[in-house]
Amino acid sequence: MTTILATPPRSGSSITTRKLSKTFNDVTVLQPTDLEIAAGEILVLLGPSGCGKTTLLRLIAGLEQPDQRDMIRFDGEDVGDVPIEKRNVGMVFQSYALFPNMTVAENVAYGLKIRKMPAAERAAETRRLLALVGLEELGNRRIAAISGGQRQRTALARALAIKPRVLLLDEPLAALDAVLRERLRVEIGSLLREFGTTAIYVTHDQAEAMAIGDRIAVMQQGRIAQIDVAQTIYHRPANEFVADFVGTMNRLKGKVLDGILVLEGIGTGARLAVGGVDRETTICFRPEAVRIASSAGDISARVIASTFFGATQRLVVEVAEGTSLQLDLPSSLSFRPGEIVSFDLDPQSVIEFHLKA
């Protein structure tokens, strides 16, 4: 029996999945996945191509059927047998999916017209939405006459017009140039929070994920490798895949002897008190997790390349033959290729899960 969902709350719906999985042609592309998303939360699904993030989005939307029923709930209500048109979800795609024969305003109002909202009320709501996304002066233009960024905002306004229980966004900025993407990711995050709509946002762009998401779920080979706020995922990644995918990571081999970490092959060797049992290990740290030393520091290295990024510079340095690191230091220090830089490592900057026995 098909369940008809009640009129959604203004703040969106909570989402729960239990052992949600999907298999195509005997290949499991989404492993059994448990997920809890609070009403009004923005969750970003982040990961490389083929990791299962879009499959998870399509299952929640109702565009794909899971391997087993009773695996998806909105506000505790089973929606497994509810078709997509009855789930009251909004969708925003990379391709925009706008109607080229309609104006911007007609596109935004389309869902309201289908729902038979009275014309005067529909026009007022459309004007309000256009103002919110900064398109109030472009309502009468055809889609072909507006820019890519304006088309994406039109698609977002159209999806929000129906006051969806859940808004699903699949790589919505992927087709835009870098400058426009950077501006729009801030705008989209602000708009979603203003509307209070529960949103799931799919991307492979880590900066986009951090700018938009209340939480980020990093996906790896059909599983959620880690789900948390951006700061925790960046500074305390759950595994090596997350550490590498979210930001740049440096690695150095060493040994722990009597609680002292000795980094091998680094001149006379850097030593850090880390505690624990004796072991061979690999330490990992972010480029910015270093401080310049006034004299001989923990590590000395030869600068290979320097790239200017405004207040900071990204150095590529060689600490030993065949071993290079990336460091972020203030641009005022002006290191040039061939120079020697000495720097210290704070033991607190070492990511602990990489200290492997």
Contact present, 314 and 330 (Cβ < 8 Å): no
Q: What is the pLDDT of residues 142-189, one digit of tens each?
A: 999 999 889 988 999 999 998 899 999 999 888 778 888 888 888 888
Q: What is the domain partition of the chain in residue ranges?
A: 15-245, 250-354
Q: Could you tell me the end-to-end alpha-carbon distance of the chain, in angstroms, rounded to an integer?
A: 55
pLDDT at residue 272 is higher than 80: no
CATH 3.20.20.80 fits 250-354, yes or no: no
In 3D, which of 89, 111, 95 has the Cα closest to residue 197? 89
d(CA 92, CA 151): 11
pLDDT at residue 339 is higher than 50: yes
* pTM, to two decimals: 0.86
Report the chain's mean pLDDT, rounded to a whole number.
87
Of 73-87, 143-157, 269-283, where does mean pLDDT reach its minimum? 269-283
Q: Which residue has the higher pLDDT, 323 or 52?
A: 52
Given this model, what pLDDT does residue 265 score? Answer: 65
Q: What is the pLDDT of residues 99-116, one digit of tens each?
A: 999 999 999 999 999 999
pLDDT at residue 284 is higher than 70: yes
Of 65-79, 196-210, 318-332, 343-357, where does mean pLDDT reach its minimum? 343-357
Q: What is the dihedral of CA 189, 192, 196, 201, to 10 degrees?
A: -90
| DSSP-based three-state secondary structure for 201 | strand
The architecture in CATH of the region 15-245 reads 3-Layer(aba) Sandwich (3.40)
Q: Would you call 86 exposed, middle or buried from its count of C-beta atoms within 10 A (0-12, 13-18, 19+)?
A: middle
pLDDT at residue 2 is higher than 70: no
Contact present, 193 and 146 (Cβ < 8 Å): no
Given this model, what pLDDT does residue 4 score? Answer: 36
Only one residue has tokens 């998870």, namely 56
pLDDT bracket for residue 355 (50, 70, 90): low
pLDDT at residue 297 is higher than 50: yes
